[in-house]
């Protein structure tokens, strides 16, 4: 449990950086003299960099002790956070986001690998959920605290605080047990990617993440009619609390019922909550309730996806999980870019319907793939 706790705190730290910009978007835009849609692309930069870096790092590091990657990743992540805190132009902050994303890719994908490798088959879902809970908890605690601190102190001290947290976790990494995985070259990784069973899981991950990020990155603008300032922080608390609850339930339900039903429940919930978000936006109680349910739905997706990849790629679970991490961030980058495009062209009222449509596409794909399930690749 101590190992999982360290890994979860690390994913909490990385997740806080990934999410906190959403709540600070207006102040960052003002400080860097850019539009809010342009500031939102800092999330795109982080996500796309992560998606590209994750498989490249894994291929280049071979059978390294995972502790080297976990610790080194956090060090690079911290350097990127310092660059964001010090950057006075959009270009400098963007480059620092790239550095932070490379460090996050080295840490986060390996955190899930270590958790999955050390767990037994009957407890793997819960082990993955424990580490994933760090990411969900970052939305409950890290993001609202960051928003409140940003309103009082500015967004740059928030970046410094996240960097300090990264250093503290890095100090604990040498205490973890050594974990080695067989080296896998980039060509072999790409061969895993094109396996039909693996590709189907990853496609659902990408489209599901596109739907989520197209809405979540710009959530402060969507709920502005009823939630600004401290009220926005409570909305983010509700969203994060739902994610933690959904993640916890996903671990238990995946071990009990299998990944398929949990994945469908997650995507179906996302369709419904996005579809009615604009209706709830003028009412703070309605927004809070919807944020809680929406967070629970979104928080259920990662664990069944990871669990499924362990099953369909039993000979290369490390590769498959790394690809899933890339898929999440690729979807996040595409989603934040798509949301920015919708915001700039059609306006804020179309963000939630766009998210509902994208979530419906992901749900449809999941249903089709489930109906035509293939045997695990060998």
Output the DSSP codes for 257-317: H-HHHHHHHHHHHHHHHHHTHHHHTT-HHHHHHHHHHHHHHHHTSHHHHHHHHHHH-TT-H
**Residue 377 pLDDT:** 44
Rg (CA), the chain: 19
Please check whether residue 319 lies inside any domain of the structure: yes
60 assigned to some structural domain: yes
Asked if 24 and 146 touch (Cβ cutoff 8 Å), the reply is yes
CATH number, domain of 348, equals 1.20.1250.20
Closest to 317 measured CA to CA, from 173, 69, 119: 119
* 107, 14 Cβ separation under 8 angstroms: yes
- Ranges of beta strands (E only) in 22-124 are none
Of 286-290, 309-313, 324-328, which one has max mean pLDDT? 286-290
Q: Is residue 376 part of a domain?
A: no
For residue 78, is it within any domain? yes
Both structure tokens of 164: 């300090």
Token pair of 355 as six digits: 């998210």
Structure tokens at 367: 């249903």
> Is 13 part of a structural domain of the chain?
yes
Query: What pLDDT, on a 0 to 100 scale, did the predictor assign at position 151?
Result: 73
Assess if residue 378 is contained within a domain.
Answer: no
pTM of the model: 0.74
Neighbours of 276 (CB within 10 A): 15
Domain count, the chain: 1
pLDDT tens-digit series, residues 125-168: 778 777 877 876 776 676 677 777 777 788 899 899 999 999 99
Using one digit for the tens of pLDDT, what is the confidence trace for 4-46?
A: 888 888 988 988 887 677 668 788 888 999 988 888 888 888 8
Looking at the chain, the number of H-run helices and the number of E-run strands are 17, 0
Q: Which value, to the nearest 10 degrees, does the dihedral of the CA atoms of residues 210, 215, 218, 220 take?
A: -150
The residue range of the domain holding 340 is 2-371
């Amino acid at each position: 449990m101590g190992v999982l706790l360290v890994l979860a705190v690390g994913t909490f730290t990385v997740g806080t950086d990934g999410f906190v910009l959403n709540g600070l978007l207006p102040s960052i835009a003002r400080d860097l003299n850019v539009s809010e849609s342009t500031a939102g692309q800092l999330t795109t930069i982080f996500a796309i960099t992560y998606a590209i870096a994750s498989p490249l790092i894994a291929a280049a590091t071979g059978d390294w002790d995972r502790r080297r990657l976990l610790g080194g990743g956090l060090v690079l992540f911290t350097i990127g956070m310092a660059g964001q805190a010090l950057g006075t132009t959009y270009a400098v902050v963007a480059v620092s986001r790239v550095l932070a994303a490379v460090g996050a890719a080295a840490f986060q994908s390996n955190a899930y690998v270590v958790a999955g490798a050390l767990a037994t088959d009957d407890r793997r879902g819960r082990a993955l959920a424990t580490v994933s809970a760090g990411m969900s908890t970052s939305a409950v605690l890290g993001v609202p605290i960051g928003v409140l601190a940003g309103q009082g102190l500015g967004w740059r001290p928030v970046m410094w605080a996240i960097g300090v947290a990264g250093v503290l976790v890095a100090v604990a990494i040498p205490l973890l047990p050594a974990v080695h995985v067989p080296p896998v070259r980039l060509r072999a990784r790409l061969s895993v990617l094109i396996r039909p069973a693996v590709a189907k899981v990853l496609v659902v991950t990408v489209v599901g993440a596109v739907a989520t990020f197209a809405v979540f990155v710009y959530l402060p603008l969507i709920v502005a009619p009823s939630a600004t300032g401290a009220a926005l922080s409570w909305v983010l608390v509700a969203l994060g609390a739902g994610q933690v609850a959904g993640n916890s339930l996903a671990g238990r339900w995946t071990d009990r019922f299998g990944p398929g039903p949990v994945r469908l429940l997650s995507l179906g919930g996302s369709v419904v909550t996005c579809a009615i978000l604009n209706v709830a936006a003028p009412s703070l109680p309605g927004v809070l309730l919807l944020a809680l349910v929406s967070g629970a739905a979104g928080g259920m997706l990662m664990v069944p996806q990871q669990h499924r990849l362990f099953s369909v790629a039993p000979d290369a679970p490390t590769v498959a999980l790394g690809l899933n991490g890339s898929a999440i961030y690729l979807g996040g980058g595409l989603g934040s870019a798509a949301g920015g495009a919708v915001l700039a062209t059609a306006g804020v009222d179309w963000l939630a319907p766009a998210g509902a449509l994208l979530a419906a596409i992901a749900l449809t794909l999941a249903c089709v793939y489930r109906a035509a399930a293939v045997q695990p690749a060998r």
